[in-house]
Structure 1
Amino acid sequence: MAKSKRIGILGGTFNPIHMGHLVLAEQARGLLRLEKVIFIPTNLPPHKRVSSLAPAQERYHMVAKALKSNPRFEVSDLELIRGGVSYSVETLRKLKSIFRHTALYFIVGSDFLKEFSGWRDIDKLSKICKFVIAARPGYPLGRLPGNMQAIKVSALDISSTGIRKRIRTKKPIRYLVPEEVRKYILKKGLYRVRIKNT
Structure 2
Amino acid sequence: MQRQASTAAKTQTVTQTETQTETAGHKRRVGLYGGTFNPIHNSHLIVADQVGNALGLDEVLFLPDVIPPHVDHKESIEPQLRLEMIQLAIEGNPLFGIELAEVKRGGISYTFDTIAELKRLHPENDYYFIIGGDMVEYLPKWHRIDELAKMVTFVGVQRLGYQTKSKYPVIWVDAPLINISSTDIRHRVESGQSIRYLVPDKVAEFIKEHHLYLE
- Fold-level similarity (TM above 0.5): yes
Aligned: 1:158 with 2:180: yes
User: CA shift at 1:146, angstroms?
Assistant: 5.5
Unaligned stretches of 5+ in structure 1?
194-198
Detail structure 1 runs of 4+ shifted over 6 Å in the superposition.
none
**Alignment gaps of 5+ in structure 2:** 1-23
- Letter in structure 2 aligned against 1:108: I
Deviation at 1:112, TM superposition (A): 0.6
Deviation sequence 1:35-56 (CA, Å, 0-9, x none): 00010101111103114x1111
Contact in 1 for aligned 2:149/2:169 (Cα 8 Å): yes
Residues 1:49 and 2:73 aligned together = yes
Equivalent positions of 1:53-132 (< 5 A) are: 53-132=76-155
Match of 2:11 in 1: none
Task: Determine what percentage of the aligned residue pairs are the same residue.
Answer: 37
The 2-side partners of 1:113 and 1:178 are apart by 27
Q: Distance in 1 between matches of 2:95 and 2:130?
A: 15
Aligned length: 191
Once residues 22 and 126 of structure 1 are traced to their aligned partners in structure 2, the CA distance between those partners, rounded to angstroms, is 25
Quote the offset at 1:67 in angstroms.
Answer: 1.0
Match status 1:25 vs 2:48: yes
Any idea what SS the aligned residue of 2:61 has? Answer: strand
Q: Which residue of the partner structure matches residue 196 of structure 1?
A: none
Question: Whole-Å Cα distance in 1 between the matches of residues 168 and 112 of structure 2?
Answer: 19
Distance, in Å, in 2 between the alignment partners of 1:113 and 1:119 is 10
Aligned partner of 1:136: which letter? R
Equivalent residue, structure 2, for 1:190: 212
**2:15 equivalent in structure 1:** none
Aligned partner of residue 129 in structure 2, secondary structure: strand
Bigger Rg, which one? 2
